[in-house]
Amino acid sequence: MREATKANLTARDITFSRGERRILDGVGLSISQGETVALLGPNGAGKSTLFRILLGLMKPDGGCIALNESDIANLGRRELARQIAYVPQGHVTPFPYLVADVILLGRLPHNGIFVEPNAKDRRVAHDVAAQLGLTPLLSRPYTEISGGERQLVLLARAIAQEAQFLVLDEPLTGLDFGFQIRVLRLLRHLADDGRGILFSTHHPEHALQIANRAAVLKDARVIADAPARSVITTEMIEKLYGVTLPAPIDWPLCLRDEQIVAELQR
């Protein structure tokens, strides 16, 4: 596919303050279809804030978000939801919807709120649930499953949305090791299939495992945005998290974990 024809989602020169505090200061970040970008940054760096701005859920003080060169401020919510799916951090709903119905909510942008899900909606939701091992939970209330299971359901809802872009705020939080691998594998497949995936993580090894690029947010600015293997170095981790590591980390070791690589390549 020629570069010029690729869909893209771009944050341009975003500034955002809360009270006196500048959270984002001239932040730029772009993601194209088929690309997986990991966003790293310490707690409170502004990753979730940037994601909410990218989704049009919060207005920046300056700058704009462009979807295929169109300012998202000019797009309706439903149109936007057909193009960008979002998994927020630590989302909890008090309503005891069945797991199957929560996943089907991902189909709303395609049909509207007052239309019964059709056969395609049910098939997509069913297939995504199966891919994430959620089939046994489909008839359980969402409020009566574990935190990790809820996280998988939210991922399933976002994937069932069949949007061009997936924006995932710490999508692997609370998942056991096996599900982390399965979800990483699924994200890799979705990107290979042409989706653009932006995810935040506190685990540099997850970025190394699936991201084409890693961007780093610190002190309100993007201080690095390049291929993950060149960004995630011992020096960067020490600078980013303010720790001194007892010895240089052999980051490529993460990549040589044959079991993980084999799983990811299946």
Ligand X SMILES: Nc1ncnc2c1ncn2[C@@H]1O[C@H](COP(=O)(O)OP(=O)(O)OP(=O)(O)O)[C@@H](O)[C@H]1O
Nearer to ligand X, 133 or 174 (CB): 174
Between CA 53 and CA 120 the distance in angstroms is 31
Nearer to ligand X, 31 or 160 (CB): 31
Q: Which residues, numbered 30-69, are part of the site for ligand X (CB under 6 A)? A: 41, 43-49
Nearer to ligand X, 44 or 178 (CB): 44
Q: 70: which DSSP letter? A: E
Q: In the bound complex, what is the minimum distance in angstroms from residue 133's beta carbon to ligand X?
A: 26
Question: Hey, what are 237's tokens?
Answer: 């981790």
Nearer to ligand X, 17 or 131 (CB): 17
Nearer to ligand X, 100 or 220 (CB): 220
Exposed (0-12), middle (13-18) or buried (19+): which is 44, by Cβ within 10 Å? exposed
Exposed (0-12), middle (13-18) or buried (19+): which is 94, by Cβ within 10 Å? exposed
Q: In the bound complex, what is the minimum distance in angstroms from residue 39's beta carbon to ligand X?
A: 9
Between CA 106 and CA 160 the distance in angstroms is 5
The phi, psi pair for 49, rounded to 5°, reads: -60, -45
Question: Hey, what are 94's tokens?
Answer: 């008090």
The only residue of 18, 74, 136, 258 in contact with ligand X, by rule CB under 6 A: 18
Q: In the bound complex, what is the minimum distance in angstroms from residue 48's beta carbon to ligand X?
A: 3
Between CA 239 and CA 133 the distance in angstroms is 38
Other Cβ atoms closer than 10 A to 16 = 22
Q: Which residues, numbered 170-209, are part of the site for ligand X (CB under 6 A)? A: none
Question: Hey, what are 127's tokens?
Answer: 């297939």
Q: In the bound complex, what is the minimum distance in angstroms from residue 22's beta carbon to ligand X?
A: 10
Nearer to ligand X, 43 or 244 (CB): 43
Give which of 122, 152, 120 is closest to 137, Cα–Cα: 152
The only residue of 23, 152, 222, 232 in contact with ligand X, by rule CB under 6 A: 23
User: Contact between 2 and ligand X (CB under 6 A)?
Assistant: no
Total residues in contact with ligand X, by rule CB under 6 A = 11
Q: In the bound complex, what is the minimum distance in angstroms from residue 199's beta carbon to ligand X?
A: 12
Interface residues with ligand X (CB under 6 A)? Answer: 18, 23, 41, 43-49, 89
